[in-house]
Structures are given as C-alpha cells and as structure tokens.
Amino acid sequence: MVISPSEYIKKCLKIDFDNSVENIIDTGASIIIFEKGTMPIEMGEMINCFYFIIYGLVRGYYIDDDGNEVTKCFVYENGFLVRNVIVPKTLRLFLWIVWKNVNVLNFPIF
C-alpha cells in the first residue's frame, strides 16, 4: 500500500490538515535514503529543508574547544531532523551523522 507524505505525517503525529496543507506537503515532500556514516547536512551547507525520519537513527553532535565530539542528541523514527532553531536558509550549528540507515521525508522550506 502506498501512502502519501501528508497521510503518513497525520498518522504518525496524530494531527489533521486541511486540503491546502495536504497539497503543499504532497507536492513538496520527497523521500530520501541516507546510509550509515553519511552526513545528511554537510558542514557549512545552507539549510533549505528539514527532514521527518521514517526509519533509522541520526546522532547530533558538535566539536568542543578541545576538538572532542560532544553528543547533543539522537533523532529517530517520527522525529524531525533540523537545527536548534529553524531559520530558513541559514547555516546549521552542529553536525549530524547517520548511525543506522535512514529513510526521511524531505520538506523544503519556502
């Protein structure tokens, strides 16, 4: 059974949308697969989208002043992969790395 992105989001988050929002989601969203070890958002990349995780696990971390990796969070199924504050088309604050293959819905920021 194929399910639309809007129906998937409604089911997972237990929310409802009107037809115009459903149309925006269904025409703008796409599915992307990231393999273990990849960085879904590269260092210095301008952010013009956010991800809703369908399956998998992503680690968010930063590098401290001594060069150590410091884990800030993990994001998994039914979670959103974004930066700390959503400000369209700005640089992200920390690094993301895929720990377990991830399938995401990719939503553009308009």
Q: What confidence category does residue 76 fall into, taking pLDDT thresholds of 50, 70 and 90?
A: very high
pLDDT in tens, 6-37: 888 888 888 898 898 889 888 888 888 999 99
In angstroms, the CA 53 to CA 81 distance is 7
Domain chopping of the chain, boundaries? 30-108
In angstroms, the CA 23 to CA 4 distance is 10
The pTM score is 0.76
Q: What confidence category does residue 44 fall into, taking pLDDT thresholds of 50, 70 and 90?
A: low
Q: What is the pLDDT of residue 24?
A: 86
Q: What is the pLDDT of residue 101?
A: 93
H helical segments located in the chain: 5-13, 19-28
Per the structure block, which two tokens stand in for 85? 């504050």
| Architecture in CATH of 30-108 | Sandwich (2.60)
Percent of the chain residues past pLDDT 70, beyond the cut: 82
Q: What is the pLDDT of residue 60?
A: 85
